[in-house]
Structure 1
Amino acid sequence: MELPAALHRDVTDFGRLLTEGGMPVEPAKLVVPMLERFVAIDHGFAKVRRTPP
């Protein structure tokens, strides 16, 4: 997975803050759960998804 450099840095820092001891976390391990959560709570997306074509 390719991320822009600034986003890679931010996600890496975010992962480091989540772990005990500040160990680095590969961004790909965080991006999938973050996107799953985002899609799950996006009310606009849910509304469009429920609307028949």
Structure 2
Amino acid sequence: MQRKLSIAGWILFLIGVGLWLLNIEVAFEEADSVLIGLGAILLLFSGIMKFKDQQS
């Protein structure tokens, strides 16, 4: 589960960065910021899960 969250987080983060760097306009205005934020949140949860596994 932790690995899937990490992969999904990186994918969303990199898509968001790509949209931002290339100035690609999509259906709604701040899509790049939303994707970067969602990716960062998923990576944060993934890190928390990994940390808890190491504590056990």
What is the TM-score of this pair, normalised by structure 2?
0.33
Name the structure where helix makes up a greater proportion of residues: 2
Larger Rg: 1
Higher relative contact order (CA 8 A, sep 6+): 2
What is the TM-score of this pair, normalised by structure 1?
0.35
